[in-house]
């Protein structure tokens, strides 16, 4: 049976008014949060700096270093400000104004709203569908000019200021990494964030541009690619291979693609990530009803369970922990459901994935060995987290991966990887002495005890300076 004190699936919580105080942050960590997400859509730089430092302070006091993910806004199209909400009626003709103040035909009869993206008129075609406010309002493009786009309302609704616009199937020529993103990211890098989540990734080149920016600023932050539109689905395999982590952002994605395709896309994304050894996050609407209700719906419980059954690395909370009434209860629901499903997976687990890479085959043999010894632990030493992530990709059935590192940043970045428990032991030295220190650390932490079987993955340098990988089976004395 799996270790009851150990949860494989990692939990990401987004910080907001409901959870940003030092007291509430402490409660989040105690409830089991592994990664704290900062949503930069509306965040100010002073707040960002203060919150990052607060997270680090609370983590140190709690003795539980968590990762910080900065989720940058990315390219987005929004409606402008309105003096009062507009109730759009089915069949009504309505304009999106590209050039505010420009003359419009029949302007006195046809209502309108400004749009923040001037090239929208060049991207859309007659017949395209425009979705507003998370798809609640649906319009069809009838005609367009340099100054405005004229539409017919298909699905009516109330339009408020600054509502998000989606264009299913339309390739939008906005930059993937905006000036706001650049300024926000610089603040995060100065404060030492661990992950940058890039919104609306459409192709691998978007990730490459951000990686170049991180290198220019001497940052080792990892990239999380968020897939949110149809372009990303068309380029999914190359995006997964180029990024460090994938996020299935089901909010915008669920608007951009037919709803019946969403679970298929999620399943395919997770399978592809497992096949190439990339951590994957399932996000958005996991416990949406708990923003205002103390208990999840049965459908939400099943949705969370399905993500765990698929063996995603992380499940994520958004509005539930930013403005929700029950943020800590939400974390407990994710924790409880994950543990229960993981119990089930441990009794009926699939064979580890088969990888072509030689080193991944080496990792596979260690995982197969650990699966043969109930109650065993996998112990690995890692500077950049690659060994631990490689082992995780094989999804060991029962054994936790106890990763010893000499880097605090690597420790935090491993918080996002399924089945990995990272520990900091300071500088590596003589292999046998380092192993002794590591075992003492794990014994003091209560993670190993006398009689436990340990599958130890390590590498040593020969006198010829050649690295030799080794797998040892040891019994704790």
Average pLDDT, stretch 98-109?
Answer: 80
Active-site residue, selected from the candidate residues 37, 150, 412, 447:
37
Q: What strand order describes the sheet that includes 111-114? A: 77-78, 164-166, 129-132, 137-144, 148-155, 93-97, 111-114
Q: Give the confidence band of 205 by pLDDT, cuts at 50, 70, 90.
A: very high
Q: From the candidates 226, 250, 412, 415, give the one annotated as an active-site residue.
A: 226
Q: What is the pLDDT of residues 342-364, one digit of tens each?
A: 999 988 766 656 666 788 888 99
Using a pLDDT cut of 70, give the percent of the chain over it.
96
Please compute the mean of the pLDDT values over residues 223-228 and round it to a whole number: 97
Residue 462: pLDDT band (50, 70, 90) is low
Quote the CA–CA distance of 165 and 134 in Å, as a whole number.
8
H or E, element range at 248:
strand 245-249
Q: How confident is the model at residue 1 (pLDDT cuts 50, 70, 90)?
A: very low
Which is higher by pLDDT, 306 or 470?
306
Q: Mean pLDDT score of the chain, rounded to an integer?
A: 93
pLDDT at 466: 77
Q: Name the least confident of 241-245, 383-387, 431-435.
A: 431-435
Question: How far apart are alpha carbons 297 and 293 in whole angstroms?
Answer: 9
Contact 92, 152 (CB under 8 A): yes
Question: How much of the chain exceeds pLDDT 90, in percent?
Answer: 81
Instruction: Report CA-CA distances (Å) from 432 to 108, 137, 309, 446.
Output: 83, 65, 38, 21
pLDDT for 353: 63
Active site residue 202: no
How confident is the model over 317-348, as pLDDT tens digits?
999 999 999 999 999 999 999 999 999 998 87
The alpha carbons of the chain give a radius of gyration, in whole angstroms, of: 24
Residue 79 bears catalytic tag: no
DSSP 176: S
Told to judge if 37 belongs to the known catalytic residues of this protein, a careful annotator would answer yes
Using DSSP's 3-state secondary structure scheme, residue 333 falls into: helix
Encode pLDDT of 153-204 as tens digits: 999 999 999 999 999 989 888 999 999 999 999 999 999 999 999 999 999 9
* Active-site residue (options: 9, 284, 322, 382): 284
> What fold characterizes domain 358-475?
Pyruvate Kinase; Chain: A, domain 1 (3.40.1380)
Between β-strands 164-166 and 77-78, what pairing exists: parallel, antiparallel or unpaired? antiparallel
The helix (H) or strand (E) run that includes residue 377 is strand 377-381
Does the active-site annotation cover 453? no
Domain 77-166: CATH architecture, name and number where available: Beta Barrel (2.40)
> Phi and psi (nearest 5°) for 235?
-110, 25
Residue 429 pLDDT level (bands cut at 50, 70, 90): confident
Measured at the CA of 285, the angle between CA 280 and CA 288, to 5 degrees, comes to: 145
Do residues 86 and 93 touch, judged by C-beta distance below 8 A?
A: no
Express each pLDDT in 252-275 by its tens digit.
Answer: 999 999 999 999 999 999 999 998
Q: How many helices (H) and strands (E) does the chain have?
A: 16, 22
Q: Are 10-74+176-345 and 358-475 equal in CATH topology?
A: no
Q: What is the DSSP code (8-state) at residue 289? A: G
* Beta-bridge mates of residue 117: none
Q: Which residue has the higher pLDDT, 432 or 60?
A: 60
Longest dimension (CA), the chain: 86
- Between 103 and 140, residue with greater pLDDT: 140
Distances (CA, A) of 286 to 12, 134, 196, 294, 296: 11, 16, 22, 14, 9
Contacts of 323 (CB under 8 A, 6+ apart): 16, 17, 18, 291
- pLDDT tens-digit map of 68-88: 999 999 988 999 999 999 999
Q: If you classify domain 10-74+176-345 with CATH, what class do you get?
A: alpha beta
Q: Is 115 helix (H, G, I), strand (E, B) or coil?
A: strand
Q: Give the pLDDT mean for 377-395.
A: 93
Question: What is the per-residue pLDDT for 352?
Answer: 57
Q: Is the pLDDT of residue 119 over 70?
A: yes
Residue among 405, 410, 436 at smallest CA distance from 423: 405
Q: Where do the domains of the chain lie?
A: 10-74+176-345, 77-166, 358-475
């Amino acid at each position: 049976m799996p270790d009851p004190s150990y949860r494989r699936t990692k939990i990401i919580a987004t910080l907001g008014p409901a959870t940003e105080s030092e007291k509430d942050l402490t409660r989040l960590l105690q409830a089991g949060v592994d990664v704290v997400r900062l949503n930069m859509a509306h965040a100010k730089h002073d707040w960002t700096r203060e919150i990052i430092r607060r997270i680090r302070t609370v983590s140190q006091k709690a003795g539980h270093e968590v990762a910080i993910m900065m989720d940058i806004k990315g390219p987005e199209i929004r409606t402008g400000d309105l003096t009062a909400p507009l109730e759009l009626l089915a069949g009504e003709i309505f304009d999106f104004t590209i050039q505010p103040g420009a003359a419009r035909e029949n302007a006195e009869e046809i209502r309108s709203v400004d749009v923040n993206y001037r090239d929208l008129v060049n991207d859309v075609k007659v017949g395209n569908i425009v979705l507003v406010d998370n798809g609640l309002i649906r319009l069809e493009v009838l005609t367009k000019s340099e100054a405005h786009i004229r539409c017919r309302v298909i699905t009516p609704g109330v339009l408020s200021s600054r509502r998000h616009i989606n264009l299913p199937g339309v390739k939008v020529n906005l930059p993937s990494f905006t000036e706001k993103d650049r300024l926000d990211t610089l603040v995060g890098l100065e404060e030492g964030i661990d992950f940058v989540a890039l919104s609306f990734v459409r192709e691998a080149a978007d990730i490459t541009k951000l990686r170049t920016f991180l290198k220019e600023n001497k940052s080792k932050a990892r990239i999380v690619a968020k897939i949110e539109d149809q372009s990303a689905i068309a380029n999914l395999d190359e995006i997964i291979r180029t990024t460090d982590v994938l996020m299935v952002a089901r909010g915008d994605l669920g608007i951009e693609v037919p709803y019946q395709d969403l679970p298929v896309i999620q399943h395919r994304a997770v399978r592809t990530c497992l096949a190439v050894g990339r951590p994957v996050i399932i996000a958005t609407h996991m416990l949406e009803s708990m923003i205002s209700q103390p208990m999840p719906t049965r459908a939400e419980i099943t949705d969370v369970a399905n993500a765990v059954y698929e063996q995603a690395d992380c499940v994520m909370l958004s509005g539930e922990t930013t403005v929700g009434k029950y943020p800590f209860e939400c974390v407990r629901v994710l924790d409880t459901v994950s543990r229960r499903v993981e119990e089930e997976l441990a009794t009926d687990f699939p064979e580890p994935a088969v990888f072509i890479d030689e080193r991944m085959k080496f990792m596979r043999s260690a995982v197969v060995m650990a699966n043969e010894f109930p109650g065993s632990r996998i112990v690995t030493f890692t500077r950049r987290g690659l060994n631990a992530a490689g082992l995780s990709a094989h999804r060991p059935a029962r054994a936790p991966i106890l990763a010893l590192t000499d880097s605090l940043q690597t420790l935090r970045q491993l918080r996002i990887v399924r089945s990995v428990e990272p520990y900091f032991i300071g500088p590596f030295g003589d292999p046998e002495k380092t192993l002794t220190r590591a075992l003492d650390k794990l014994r003091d932490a209560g993670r190993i005890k006398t009689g436990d079987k340990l599958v130890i993955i390590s590498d040593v340098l020969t006198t010829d300076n050649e690295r030799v990988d080794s797998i040892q089976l040891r019994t704790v004395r």
